[in-house]
Amino acid sequence: MVCQFCKLKEATVHVTEIADNKVKKVDACAACAKEKNYNDPAAFAIADHLLGLGAAQKMEEASEAVGTLSCDQCGYTQADFKKSGRLGCAHCYDIFSDGLDSVLKTMHKDIRHRGKVPAGMQSALAGAHRLQSLNRDLQVAIAQEDFESAARLRDEIKAFKAAE
Amino acid sequence: MSILDFLVPASEACLRSGPHDKIVLSSRVRLARNLRTVPFPSHSKKAERIKAFETLMPAVKSLTLLGEEIFAESMDKLPALDKQVLVERHLISREHAAKNAGSGIVLNREENVCVMVNEEDHLRMQALRPGLQLRQAWMAIDAVDTALQEKVEFAFTERYGFLTACPTNLGTGIRVSAMLHLPGLVLAEQINQIIQAVNKLGLAVRGLYGEGTEALGNVFQVSNQMTLGEPENDIVERINKVLLQIIEHEENARLSQMEKKPAVLLNHIGRAYGVLGNSWSISSKEAMNLISFLRLGVDLGVFGKTPKSLTDELFLRSQPAHLQLAHPLREKLGSDERDLFRAQMLRERTALIPKPDPQALLGKREEGSPE
């Protein structure tokens, strides 16, 4: 079989794509395949294999939405993720979080951690939650024109911040 | 000290016993953790891996929880045979056995807490227990993790929990698993139904050495797949509940086979005894499948007072690295030589087991009938 692009060399890369219920077959030589980005179908398969079918495509869609991303700390790219199904460093989770959530949904019970929290984080998290809830109460009190409560909450927030 | 001197002999390792150990061979809980400031091992440069290694090895070694007598070594210092023995004892993963400089292992004297440094994550730490003891294993490794957090800072976010190289381990980083011996369900041809049911509950069923391995010797590994969105305790309890159900099904399958098809059972057990006691060349696959029936025979009382530790020892000693270790020359054996040597070891050991006594299975049915 001859390459459908250059029509010169022997086609060695054969890809079957199914998009919108249409089957599209590609038969290309190694050089054209590389040029047209059909070079590494296995790259998709690994992410799919590890993270469930469709994971690679979801990442792809997410990356199209945000453009080409790479981690500014370890240099990991979206393509690296597709190839290995893994991330490069802790910071990657911030960088790739948009695409990641849809992937995580398919493989986990939920996309929020509900397990163990490091002891050092516990008080910090509890503090942040407390502050959030005080602020929320303050907004409610102001909206209801309950200025007595609002004044008390304001003092509490001030004291809390001072204690931090 | 070599790891081979540190580990107790196979015969002793198989004496460990725990609840439900007729069916549950062992329980394990593994946690994945990473340092906050160093890229994950799979994506890090050699210098970064060494940095993680040099941060973590001393931290793990200094844990008083592990006791004073520990084995700690860099993977490049371990000969291939030693690494393979560790894999066959289920102390390290096959992936970790392939690691060299920059990766390490720390093991405690009881051989029930093992920490891998720079596997897929900076830390893979696991607690092992004989029989069904998932809660105990979780508590043990939870304590190790808590103690370590006082020494090093792990990658953690409020939203995603503990960060791991692979998103499949994200959150708790926990993998709770148990190794099950299920010959009854296999014989009753119910095993596929059970596997499907267990899969539906979000649990994975795998072979003897984990991911991508065959269920040799009717041994299956059940583990959780989801790690994010649930507290560790819920995951442990759910698997515990599922395991208790599998145990019940396995017990029922054994009972109903004894009731309905005692001859089929005796045939399997008797032939296993015959072949293991008389073969002169045997592959590990055939050996493991036969030893499984021998163990079933021991469970059912067909072999008098033979302890199950003896069949477990046969199982362990049939593995390639353990065989090589027992060989007088300790040289690397070719697979043909290995099959010969395995058969010899099995013949000698099976000779210690009394002939199967059919009355143990048939006795109840034929009570009162002439001997």
Query: Considering only CB atoms, which chain A residues are within 8 Å of B44?
Result: 74, 89
Distance from CA of A78 to the nearest CA of B (A): 13
Strands B113-117 and B104-108: antiparallel
Q: Which amino acid is at A101?
A: D
For the stretch B229-241, pLDDT in tens is 999 999 999 999 9
Instruction: State whether B40 and A88 contact (CB < 8 Å).
Output: yes
Which residues does chain B have with pLDDT short of 50? 366-371
Distance from CA of B145 to the nearest CA of A (A): 9
Query: In chain A, which residue's Cα lies nearest the Cα of B172?
Result: A115
Which parts of A11-144 fold into alpha helices (H)? 30-35, 41-51, 55-66, 78-84, 92-95, 97-107, 119-143
Mutation test of the interface with chain A: which of B36, B170, B236, choosing the one with the most A Cβ atoms within 10 A?
B170
The pLDDT value given to residue A58: 61
Residue B228 has its nearest CB partner, among A89, A113, A120, at: A113
Question: What residues contact A24, with CB distance under 8 A and at least 6 apart?
Answer: A16, A17, A18
The pLDDT value given to residue A102: 83
Contact B310, B13 (CB under 8 A): no
Instruction: State whether A104 and B167 contact (CB < 8 Å).
Output: yes
Three-state DSSP state, B336: helix
Query: Considering only CB atoms, which chain B residues are within 8 Å of A88?
Result: 39-40, 43
Contact B38, B118 (CB under 8 A): no
Reference B45, options A101, A88, A43, A19; nearest CA is: A88
Tell me how far apart the alpha carbons of residues B83 and B268 are, in angstroms, rounded to a whole number: 34
Query: Considering only CB atoms, which chain B residues are within 8 Å of A99?
Result: none
Q: Which amino acid is at B129?
A: R
- Which ipTM did the prediction report? 0.83
Tell me how far apart the alpha carbons of residues B60 and B201 are, in angstroms, rounded to a whole number: 35
Residue B232 has its nearest CB partner, among A84, A115, A120, at: A115
The reported pTM is 0.80
B212: alpha, beta or left? (left if phi > 0; alpha if psi -120 to 50): left
Tell me how far apart the alpha carbons of residues A96 and B163 are, in angstroms, rounded to a whole number: 13
Which residues does chain A have with pLDDT short of 50? 40-45, 65-66
The pLDDT value given to residue A51: 58
Mutation test of the interface with chain B: which of A109, A121, A129, A131, choosing the one with the most B Cβ atoms within 10 A?
A109
